[in-house]
Chain A
Amino acid sequence: MGPNGAGKTTLLKLIGALLLPSEGDIFVGGVNTVSHGLEARKSVGFVLNEERSFFWRLTAIQNLEFFGALDNLWGADLDDRIHELIGLVGLGDVADRPVSGFSSGMKQRLALARGLIAEPDILILDEPTRALDPIAAEELTELILDRIHQDSRKTLLIATHRPEEAVRLCNKVLVIDNGRLKGFDRIAELSEKGMSLLEYYRERLQADTE
């Protein structure tokens, strides 16, 4: 968590090997993302919050076919995986329609399917509910909680502005501001101390140094 411009997206993109650090190294599952970016990406799925990150004239299935091929999936394996994911994110009825007709919530579900296509160990979600109305945001949170978080036991890294979302989806919270770490704690321990996540977040942002 962190305010706008704190560096949340930058941090996630560094972990996902989309960006390179100006100095130092980042290891994901023991793989150096600086020297072995493609190798590191095998264990990372990225769910972008950019609605336009799909080819709008292609259908949901055609988009997943393309992005699946970029992740070295093809043939029957890819087809099976796509149909499994389309069912998982609840887009079965619209899978053959162009993405241009999708709502923001549907595009975000499709982004989730794309992030999961290569069965990554780590799923990075960059403000997944940012552009969604409250109902669509709730549905997506439920989807992540019920179908991905609980079922597959993946590591989820989520950037969010919403404390209630973090409380439901995460067991640890990291607060950053201006590119610096301001706090890192277990959410359960905050509850034990009688502190809400919002209070913790405020307190950490006001702290002068890490």
Chain B
Amino acid sequence: MIASLRKAWAFLLRDFRIESGYKTSFLMRVVESMTLLVLFYFLGELIAPGGSPALGRYGDRYLPFAIVGVAFARYFDLTLKMFSESIRLAQVTGCLDAMLSSQTGCVPIVLMSSLYSLVSGGLQLLLILLAGTLAFGVDFGRINLPATVLIFLLSILTFVSFGVLSAAMVVWLKKGDPITWILSGFGAIMGGAYFPTSIMPGWMQKISLVLPITYSLDALRLTMLKGYSIGMVANPVEILLAMTAVLLPASLIIFAAAVRKGRREGTLLEY
């Protein structure tokens, strides 16, 4: 356990050192996030408070609805892509072979390679929420923190599971990862990142019900904007819990099998 934590720290330190060499990188991401906030602020101005019955479930105003949706959808998108991207990067930079020749297994290497993304993405998420509060007056005063944290963690685990599956696809197929495509941009639109799923036609709502982001965003908005307790969001919590319980071990097993296949066929380092 201590050995794993020390290795995790080594990965965090490595990526922080590399990232700090790109002086404008973090600044550009902050500017991009702020631009998004401005965009959704003005879109929100088009809808008067209480002007859309579909928003009523989340407190009548569009800007808080959009900020929670967009900030978390971006973060989940990152958790979905970070494993496959870290493998890709290690393959392209030629460092994967060197890491694999160490006394650390491939699965921990890939998982730990993504830690920095998880942390820096978390900082951006907090920054967006903070800017929404300070600059645009979004009120998170009713937030139920324990429920929000629980749903957030469950959502991360669910998306990490899909992310590991996506990485397995990259190891296996090299190109063409359908999981990321379905759950990323398409998932954000269908899962209600920008508008409530209730305004979509019935058949589209049925599709949204199989996407984890639908449950994550719905529950996060309810706990952050309306102060719902864990008991009041039990349904999405149970669904996310079930997805995690099944997908997390399955994804790790599938990824390990893909790596083993790559090591047997000599294709692990190909990209």
Number of residues from A at the complex interface, CB < 8 A: 34
Given A38-B105, A41-B101, CB of A55 within 8 Å of CB of B14: yes
Output the residue of B14, B109, B264 with the most chain A CB within 10 A: B14
Chain A residues, Cβ within 8 Å of B260: 20
Query: Distance in Å from the Cβ of B165 to the closest Cβ of chain A?
Result: 22
Docked-complex contact A50 and B14, CB < 8 angstroms: no
Q: Closest chain B residue to A65 by CB distance?
A: B10
Report A41-72 CB contacts with B as 1/0, cut-off 8 Å.
Answer: 11010101011111101100010011101111
Tell me, yes or no, whether A118 is within 8 Å of chain B by CB: yes
Docked-complex contact A67 and B98, CB < 8 angstroms: yes
How many A-B contacts if CB must be within 8 Å?
A: 82
Of the candidates B101, B103, B104, the one whose C-beta lies within 8 Å of that of A48 is B101
Tell me, yes or no, whether A191 is within 8 Å of chain B by CB: no
Q: CA of A51 to CA of B17 in the docked complex: distance in angstroms?
A: 20
Q: CA of A153 to CA of B181 in the docked complex: distance in angstroms?
A: 54
Query: Distance in Å from the Cβ of A73 to the closest Cβ of chain B?
Result: 9
Q: CA of A37 to CA of B62 in the docked complex: distance in angstroms?
A: 55
Query: Distance in Å from the Cβ of A62 to the closest Cβ of chain B?
Result: 6
Tell me, yes or no, whether A22 is within 8 Å of chain B by CB: yes
Report A16-31 CB contacts with B as 1/0, cut-off 8 Å.
Answer: 1011111000000000
Output the residue of A22, A62, A67, A69 with the most chain B CB within 10 A: A69
Report A152-164 CB contacts with B as 1/0, cut-off 8 Å.
Answer: 0000000000000
Given A19-B263, A19-B266, A65-B10, CB of A50 within 8 Å of CB of B94: yes
Docked-complex contact A62 and B17, CB < 8 angstroms: yes
Docked-complex contact B94 and A52, CB < 8 angstroms: yes
Q: CA of A44 to CA of B102 in the docked complex: distance in angstroms?
A: 9
Q: CA of A58 to CA of B14 in the docked complex: distance in angstroms?
A: 8
Tell me, yes or no, whether B200 is within 8 Å of chain A by CB: no
Tell me, yes or no, whether A10 is within 8 Å of chain B by CB: yes
Query: Distance in Å from the Cβ of B105 to the closest Cβ of chain A?
Result: 6
Of the candidates A21, A65, A72, the one whose C-beta lies within 8 Å of that of B103 is A72
Chain B residues, Cβ within 8 Å of A81: none
Chain A residues, Cβ within 8 Å of B18: 55, 57-58
Q: CA of A72 to CA of B105 in the docked complex: distance in angstroms?
A: 12
Tell me, yes or no, whether A74 is within 8 Å of chain B by CB: yes
Q: CA of A164 to CA of B103 in the docked complex: distance in angstroms?
A: 33
Q: CA of A142 to CA of B18 in the docked complex: distance in angstroms?
A: 33
Q: Closest chain B residue to A100 by CB distance?
A: B21
Chain A residues, Cβ within 8 Å of B104: 38, 70-71
Tell me, yes or no, whether B149 is within 8 Å of chain A by CB: no
Docked-complex contact B264 and A18, CB < 8 angstroms: no
Chain B residues, Cβ within 8 Å of A37: 105
Docked-complex contact A53 and B7, CB < 8 angstroms: no
Tell me, yes or no, whether A114 is within 8 Å of chain B by CB: yes
Of the candidates A10, A21, A53, A65, the one whose C-beta lies within 8 Å of that of B98 is A53
Q: CA of A52 to CA of B11 in the docked complex: distance in angstroms?
A: 18
Chain A residues, Cβ within 8 Å of B94: 50-53
Chain A residues, Cβ within 8 Å of B101: 16, 18, 41, 44, 46, 48
Within 8 A of A (CB), among B1-55: 3, 6-7, 9-11, 13-14, 17-18, 21
Cβ contacts A to B, 29 pairs, < 8 Å: A18-B97, A18-B100, A18-B101, A18-B263, A19-B263, A19-B264, A20-B260, A20-B263, A20-B264, A38-B103, A41-B102, A46-B98, A48-B98, A52-B93, A52-B95, A53-B97, A54-B98, A57-B17, A57-B21, A58-B17, A66-B11, A66-B14, A69-B6, A70-B7, A70-B99, A70-B102, A70-B109, A71-B102, A118-B103
| 16 additional contacts (CB under 8 A) given A19-B264, A41-B103, A50-B97 | A20-B263, A20-B264, A41-B101, A46-B98, A46-B101, A48-B101, A53-B97, A55-B93, A57-B18, A58-B17, A58-B18, A62-B14, A65-B10, A65-B13, A67-B102, A69-B6
